[in-house]
Amino acid sequence: MKLFWAAVLAAHAAWGQTPPLYQNADAPLEKRVDDLLSRMTAAEKVSQMMNESPAIERLGVPAYNWWNECLHGVARAGRATVFPMPIGLAAAWDPELIFRMATAISDEARAKNNEFIRRGKRSIYQGLTFWTPNINLVRDPRWGRGMEAYGEDPYLVGRMAVEFIKGLQGNDPKYLKTVATAKHFAVHSGPESSRHSFDAKVEDGDLADSYLPHFEAAIKEGGAYSVMCAYNRVDGDPACASPRLLGDILRKQWGFSGYVVSDCGAVGDIFSGHKVVNSMAAAAARAVKAGTDLDCGSEYRSLIPALEQKLIAEAEIDASVRRLLTARFRLGMFDPPERVPYARIPLSVVESAAHQALALEAARKSIVLLKNQGGLLPLKKSIRTLAVIGPNWQDCAANSVRARTFSTRKAGNWPTDCPSWRPCRRPRSSPAMARAGAMG
């Protein structure tokens, strides 16, 4: 933070005049943003539209990396309180618990960021814009990311999303505590292998009833300030270049005023995966025109040749940069720390006793026990061996995963106090068990 304000003072000295409007913390937000935007060159504007945004030293704009994660605790930034995965949290059926958890996560996020800034660190996973929550519907296990989301029901997912977002973003009338990003918009839940070229063709009724309600709740009730567009196409248009999704639905119908970030590499997919344009410059221009403000990646470097080729106007770039700068102002990045209430959250909140107790409460509430009421399943207490059917049970990799799950020892060494589990073995005799492992 000292380095930032030193750069600001140096800029003032270079100008030889009073501080510019954008550095006046008491000026109206819109005027501050417009003032800063007006001082930037086209190349500087484009540089701020990628997740790894460099400093603009002549203007006192610090470097910033927009990529940060906190799906169930602040991730990849050192020690933090770890909560259950979302699919388990959904099983708690407790939105208020989600709010308290997200509040604890955002406390730790701010505390960590405060410390990073104090040390002059502004790298990936050290910021305040979090690409969370994942609110896609889990309706196909082949997706492979079901543990990240809150299940298959749009209503439940929406309730969890609203509380998670509120807890992350805080309730200060001027400053955002962090930014929550509802992802992946839209009709995105696998399979992973074809997501970079897949076209999700969905009927209007199914779109309205299944794939949009929880996103609408995240925006209109939760107030999510960011949305991540998905890799796939939706009815022919790449999600990150869809005027219908990003313009008509998100901004016009729902009144979304925040910014849209692409999934990582999704802008490149417009050209190389979906093949709906003939150049990267055309892909970048199409994404910005549709409403994708921030590129996770470096594809937006092609906006400079896109400008030269008149594929896009600088005013269209301005619209995206204005939304991105607004987010940074609302996070307090251009104001003295003493003006930002969240800048005072101490590092001592990280892994605090209160947060650890909350994590334990969440873990307990996420556990679901199934009761074989009325003998619905033909399972008797006298049964000593069960066959678990499926190809993964003969896979050594799957065996290793199970071993890590049920034991802290090396894969294959099972805890002695849990004799009902043993590593899968390929059956030697029964053809019917050719794809089965045994528990006994």
Q: Which residues are catalytic?
A: 263
Backbone angles phi, psi at 209, to 5 degrees: -85, -30
Question: What is the CB-side half-sphere exposure of residue 111 using CA atoms within 13 A?
Answer: 19
Give residue for tokens 């839209």.
Answer: 186
Q: Which two tokens stand for residue 380?
A: 């008797």
> Is residue 58 within 8 Å of residue 44, measured between CB atoms?
no
Helix (H, G, I), strand (E, B) or coil at 291: coil
**b/e 159-177 (16+ beta carbons within 10 angstroms → b):** bbbbbbbbbbbbeeeebbb
**Torsions phi, psi for 240 (to 5 deg):** -85, 5
Site of tokens 């910014």 = 259
The number of beta carbons lying within 10 Å of the beta carbon of residue 112 is: 25
Which residues, other chains included, contact 426 with Cβ-Cβ below 8 Å and sequence gap of 6+? 394
DSSP string, 43-56: HHHHHTTBSEEPPB
Phi, psi of 436 (to 5 degrees): -120, 155
CA distance 338 to 26: 13
The rounded distance, in Å, linking the Cα atoms of 336 and 353 is 31
